[in-house]
Structure 1
């Protein structure tokens, strides 16, 4: 299974939704809480080119925010990303 990382803020409902979705799918992830850490927030901005949370990464692939994650799951793209990153590990 590839490394899955999700940048979050503790009070963010979209972050909670993304984490719940991954949890329901049985997918383990590393949560990176950026609420009070400017260094981690800047890391997220650099990696994603976005300022909003959540930001989901599968290996080296940036999936995007919660809406992007949900869309990728619905259209089968998320499964393809998982497969491609599993093979890359």
Structure 2
């Protein structure tokens, strides 16, 4: 199965929804909390060119945020990216 990394904060509803969707698929998420470690937000921004959370990677593929993840699922492409 693919490695999933997600930059998040505690109070972000989109982060919660992304984690829920991935959990429903049996995926373990490596969560990086930028609210606990603010210097990691800069790392996230350099990698994604985005300021908002969540920012999600599946292996080396930058998915984007929750809306992008949801669109991949609805189009039937998410399972393939996850190696399912």
1:51 paired residue number: 51
CA RMSD in angstroms comes to: 1.4
Structure 1 residue 65 corresponds to structure 2 residue 65: yes
Distance 2:15 2:82 in 1: 20
**Structure 1 gaps, min length 5:** none
How many correspondences in the alignment? Answer: 84
Q: CA deviation at 1:46?
A: 1.1
SS at match of 1:72: helix
Q: CA deviation at 1:36?
A: 3.5
2:21 paired residue number: 21
Distance 2:8 2:35 in 1: 7
- The TM-score, its normalising length taken from structure 2, stands at 0.91
**Structure 2 gaps, min length 5:** none
- The TM-score, its normalising length taken from structure 1, stands at 0.86
More helix by share: 1
SS at match of 1:31: strand
Following TM superposition, the consecutive aligned residue runs of length 4 or more in structure 1 with deviations greater than 3 angstroms are none
Name the stretch that deviates more: 62-71 or 37-46.
Answer: 37-46
SS at match of 2:82: helix
1:9 paired residue number: 9
